Every structure is written in structure tokens, then in C-alpha cells.
Amino acid sequence: MVLRAGFVVTLAALCAAPAVAQAFDVETGGKLRLTRGISTLEGQGGGGLTPWATITGDETDRGLGASAHVTAVELPDYGFISYGVAVGLFDRVELSYTREEFNTRDVGTALGLGQGFTFAQDVFGAKLKLTGDAVYAQDTWVPQVAVGANWKMNDQDAIVQAIGASDSEGWEAYASATKILLDHSLLFNGTLRWTNANQTGLLGFGGDRQEDHELEAEASLGWLVNRYLLVGGEYRMKPDNLGIAQEDDWLDLFAAWSITRELTLTGAYADLGSIATFEDQRGFYLSLQAGF
């Protein structure tokens, strides 16, 4: 109920924000539908699993925008939810905050942590667009390029270190390149992430197998069926730092529907592999994003 109420309040604030911005002579809106991206599990503008070089919000280089999201993933042995907000400044800078919660359900009992034990972390993100324009530079193959960084703080320091993690707090950096070919209705994105996060940081950072940051590749491919619907897939490589449990790469198949200019609903089938010794964690992903 608290989460639902919080999202409703945030949605109401986002609906009122364009009028406030216009009162201060700051422009809002201007992007084509779906080209701001949706929200990743960690809160950045992009796909569900991996960030894009696009900046959240519908603003152009003359204004500001913002978004809020709530995302849930249902897996055979676990439950995951994330919720957060992000702002886009002049289609150049993105700042975001997201809270992630990972419910171990019956696995918590099997691991001696207790029924429904939950790992949670706060994710603070920043992204800077360097060059290019994914949408409007249609006369060139040069993509839009952005760099970003996340600072993550896990709330279970003693437990993540007990299972072999080096730390409960950590950072990661990434670079993304995104290109949208409007005449072919295609979206391409590639991301390189410098990270040592275990299960995005929900199980800490670094480990007894590997402590240092490693470079991991991620990719997205999308087809704009029409101006309201984007379908596609993503692949995200992951580090494998903990000796107690293998960590697999992630992939998904998604569909994002622009219900209105302000609301986007995304559904996906996700294969997250092995998580904390439990194999075949495949399930469904549902995300609602509100923005302007």
C-alpha cells in the first residue's frame, strides 16, 4: 500500500510538473513517443535490463523532463520489485534514484535467513550525453553516445560479506551507443559496463572468486511496430564473483506500449539463469513508467 500510494503521489506530481515548468518559461515535451526509452531495473532510461544513450523524459535540448517507474519481476523462487524517479535536463544530463527489493521467499528459509527475507539496495545514477542524436541524425550512421555511473548501497552488509562478497557498497560505470533508424523502424543499442556487482549488487560487490571490476557487454535490439508499440530483446553479460553460486547472463524479450504520451506499459519474458544456487529463474516482467 505504501508503494502504491507513493507511486500515485509521484504520478500526480509528474502530471502537474509541465504546467509548473511552463510557468517558469522552461520547455517540456518534443520527443517522439517511446524514444526516451523505458526504465531499467536500476532506474536509467533505456530498456528493461540495459541502459541506452537516450536521456529520460520527453524534453529536447531546450527544456527538462522526468519519469517515474515501478517494475516487478516474478520468478519461480524469487520476487523482485524496483521503483524510482529520474530527471532529464536539456536532453543532455540524466539523474536517477531507484530502490530495488529482492524477496527470497521460501529460499530464505532454505538458506537459514528466514521466510521472505529481503535484500534491498539504493541506486543513485547519473548519465551524460556526449555526442550524436539517436533520432534526428537520420542522415548518418553515427549513434548517440552517452556515459554513466551508478553508486549502489546494499542494506545487508553482514550477510553479503558472509556469503563471500567483498563489500555491500559499490560503483559501476558504463558507456552506451544508441541508433534509431526511422525508415526501417529499428533500434540498436550497445553498452559496455565496468562492474563487479553480484546480481546487480543485491548480493554485494566483488567476491572470493573475483574482486576487481570487469568489462561486461550488453545489447538491445528493437522494432517499432508503430508509433505506440516497440518490441525487441536484450542481452546482458554478468560478472561471476561468488564461489558459492554461479551467476549467469541475462536476456529478455519485451514489448513496450505507449498507452498515452505520459504512460508506458512494458511486459517481458526474462531468463535470469541461476540465482543463489537456484537454477532456471525464468519469469515475467511488468513495468509501468510515467513521464513528461
The span from the CA of 104 to the CA of 113, in Å, is 9
User: Mean pLDDT over residues 2-12, rounded?
Assistant: 50
pLDDT tens profile 97-113: 999 999 999 988 887 78
pTM of the shown model: 0.89
For the record, the C-alpha cell of 271 comes out as 531468463
User: Mean pLDDT over residues 43-66, rounded?
Assistant: 95
Under 8 Å between Cβ of 189 and 50: yes
pLDDT at position 11: 53
Asked if CATH classification 1.10.110.30 holds for the domain at 2-291, the reply, yes or no, is: no
The span from the CA of 288 to the CA of 87, in Å, is 16
Whether 27 shows a pLDDT value over 90: the answer reads: no
End-to-end CA distance of the chain: 25
pLDDT at position 221: 98
Whether 15 shows a pLDDT value over 70: the answer reads: no
The span from the CA of 232 to the CA of 50, in Å, is 13
In percent, the amount of the chain with pLDDT more than 90 equals: 84
pLDDT at position 243: 92
| Cα dihedral 285, 135, 87, 80 in deg (nearest 10) | 10
pLDDT tens profile 127-147: 999 999 999 999 999 999 999
pLDDT-based confidence at 25, cuts 50/70/90? low
The mean of the pLDDT values for the chain is 92
pLDDT at position 112: 79
